[in-house]
Amino acid sequence: MRGLVLLAVFSAIPMQAAEPVPLDAALRDRCVKILRDGLTSDEFWPAMHAAEALTLAGHGREVLDAIAKRTESDDQKRCGLAREAVRAGDRSKLSILFAILDKPGSNGHTHAAESLFKMAEVGDGTKLRAAFAQSENVKLKLMAAAALARCGHPTALVAVRAMLADPDRENRKVAAWILGQLGARSDVPSILAAFKTETDPLAQAYAVNARALLGDDAANKQLLANLSASEPAVRTYSAEFAGYARLDGARDALVRLLDDPTLDVRVRAAQSLIVLSQSAGALGLPVAAGRPVLVRDVYPATVANPRYSEGSVAVRTDGSLLFAITEFVGGAADAATARIVARSSRDDGRTWGEPRILQENTGKQNVMSVTLRRLKPNAVDGPLGLFYLVKNGSTDLKVFFRISNDDGHTFGPPTLVTDRPGYHVMNNDRVTVLANGRIVCPVAWTADVSKGGHFVCRCFFSDDEGKTWKAGSDTVDAPKRGAMEPEVLELADGKLLLIARTQLGHIATAISKDGGDHWGEPGQLSVKAPEAPATIRRIPATGDWLLVWNDTYDAKAGHGGVRTPLTVAISSDEGRTWKQVRNLETAADRGFAYTSIAFVRDRLVLTYYVSEPKTGRISSRFRSLPVADLYEPSR
């Protein structure tokens, strides 16, 4: 099946539970040598398979060095190089895959979608959703469906399952391959039926491998037998998937295959031995049963630092996470001394490094409320902006930002965003970079917050990557205390939606047709809400809206009610209705607010503050969950 090169997807396969089988030093060295020889081979695709396995074994730097020495003009091979560079720790190469996916007449469209599936990357989702919507290129449609499904699309696999009935053998093979990695045990009978009369050995092997990945015992036995098949391609794919099916009984056969005359068989056998030696957690693989939700209090409040709040997360080019937060010193009030600190994680948030200072306190009171944002649309590398507030008093609060050209390790000098008098509030994680490159900072303004100031919302924007800033012409207002703590979402038609906190029991809205300069009549979202901030984003895999807010309202209570529960909901109709409503936090003796959102591969990453009214302390929590979980039945 060389016309569509199907490589391993070690981070997508739903693993069967099995204890790792450690490799002795001699066998591990032998496997690594085979992979190193494969990496430098003139056989391109086995070299890419070796790159994948070496990264899995912890030799990503070596892979990047080897890939840098290769140049290819063929788009399919360019996809292979880009994919393995990304897997080895250079996410900047994602841009190559998206460019090829969108390139007219390219022979690499399907390979680009396949590669994005393997890495659980969809960008903003628009190109992959378009590829899924078309029907001229069936394999492209299938691979786009796989990428979207892996990153949370709830119905994309419907099209894949339907393809099991396709008369074209190649389409059925691809469908089975995808379902083996993303499907369910209930797909086993359909896969079995689709290949019941199949006589081609490789097609039969595809079906066997898919069923084995889904836990079918009969397929497991056949996969083991296929390790001794006469056809090299069957041995290759069987060697690859024996590891991901966690077939401990395959170990001896895999060791024998290290001497196979076919390079790709040797490479895949070495890879599976490495897979079997590592736990699912070490591999970064989602386990079929449970798809764990990860929760960490990354910044717990202390006596010395009683408040950590208003954070933002950026994904670095090497895939690590940078979590910035406001660290208050000696007090928890909004006017207490504070600075911006950050911690990094290299394992998707499981563990975190020591904190370091990103922004010292340059205000008479504090600096706070951080946003980390790439300054180009849909960028995964390049300039990273650090936005924050400098507070000098009740009549002087301004937005500043600094630029990092080394992925957040250092930042340049500050630039003033809000060059007007008064008190300018921009919440954490609020900056929006539009498709045309405009950077939009949504700000709530009042002359003096100490006098119960009435707030209005206005956007400040830059069309030159932050060098210069302009204030929008219009403001958005609301009754009582006004419109507060706004956020901006770019709509599918290019218009902007502004949402704002109010004292009215709902989330206020307004629409701009000119990039945030002017705003139409005020409206509201169809959910109740206290006087608390809400966060709204677009889910990349589906294009749906995701809303995070406190789903409660009590007109008689202060601020319209407590900031619990912390709730998420999805809208597929531009905010008219909301579904899949679920509570992430429900503790009645805590408050949850000031959320940040990042979509990191196939997961939703949230941070938010956790307040303890009895002690007055505020900690900051990190939560990571599969995007697919959002589409489970509502509570």
Q: Sorting pLDDT into bands at 50, 70 and 90, what band is 8?
A: very low
Q: Which range among 110-114, 283-287, 517-521 shows the weakest confidence by mean pLDDT?
A: 283-287
Q: How many domains does the chain have?
A: 1
Report percent pLDDT > 70 for the chain. Answer: 95
**Does residue 328 form part of some domain?**
yes
For 623, the domain range is 294-631
CATH number at residue 597: 2.120.10.10
Instruction: Please tell me the distance from the alpha carbon of residue 462 to that of residue 468, in angstroms, as a whole number.
Output: 6
Q: Is residue 532 part of a domain?
A: yes
Residue 467: inside a domain: yes
The pLDDT value recorded for residue 290 is 45
Residue 13: pLDDT above 80? no
- Burial class of residue 336, CB neighbours in 10 A (0-12, 13-18, 19+): middle
The predicted pLDDT at position 292 comes to 87
User: Residue 370: CA atoms inside 13 Å, Cβ hemisphere, count?
Assistant: 32
Distance, in Å, from the CA atom of 307 to the CA atom of 312, rounded to the nearest integer, reads: 15
Which pLDDT score is estimated for 291? 65
> pLDDT tens digit string along 330-340?
999 999 999 99
pLDDT at 282: 53
Q: What integer is the mean pLDDT of 25-47?
A: 98
CA dihedral 325→331→333→339, nearest 10 degrees, is -30
Q: Are the CB atoms for 401 and 415 separated by under 8 Å? A: yes
pLDDT at 9 over 50: no
Taking the C-alpha atoms of residue 546 and residue 597, their distance in angstroms, rounded to an integer, is 10
Angle between the 25-39 and 44-56 helix axes, to the nearest 10 degrees? 140
In this model, does residue 281 exceed pLDDT 60? no
pLDDT at 483: 98
Residue 57, phi then psi, degrees to nearest 5: -85, 0
pTM: 0.94
- Of residues 106 and 292, more confidence is placed in 106
**What pLDDT, on the 0 to 100 scale, is given for residue 341?**
98
User: Is residue 169 in some structural domain?
Assistant: no
Q: What is the pLDDT of residues 125-165, one digit of tens each?
A: 999 999 999 999 999 999 999 999 999 999 999 999 999 99
Condensed to tens digits (0 to 9), the pLDDT of residues 583-620 reads 999 999 999 999 999 999 999 999 999 999 999 999 99
Q: Is 284 a residue whose pLDDT tops 70?
A: no
Is pLDDT above 80 for 507? yes
- Alpha carbon separation from 230 to 258, 436, 595 (Å, rounded): 16, 55, 57
Query: Which residues neighbour 426 within 8 Å (Cβ) at sequence distance 6 or greater?
Result: 369, 371, 387, 389, 399, 441, 442, 443, 444
Domain assignment present for residue 455? The answer is yes
pLDDT tens-place string over residues 414-436:
999 999 999 999 999 999 999 99
At 280, the pLDDT band (50, 70, 90 cuts) reads low
Both tokens of 372, joined, read 């980390």
272 within some domain: no
Residue 451 has pLDDT above 50, yes or no: yes
Is residue 1 over pLDDT 80? no
What local confidence, expressed as pLDDT, does residue 634 receive? 66
Pairing of strands 396-404, 422-425: parallel
Residue that the structure tokens 């975190």 belong to: 352
Full DSSP string of 240-266? HHHHHTT-GGGHHHHHHHTT-SSHHHH
Report the percentage of the chain scoring pLDDT > 90: 93
Instruction: Tell whether 41 is covered by a domain.
Output: no
φ, ψ of residue 443 to 5 degrees: the values are: -130, 140
Query: How much is the average pLDDT of 542-556?
Result: 97
Position 374 pLDDT exceeds 50: yes
Question: Torsion angle, CA of 413/417/420/421, rounded to 10 degrees?
Answer: -60
Q: Average of pLDDT values for 379-396?
A: 97
Residue 474 domain flag: yes
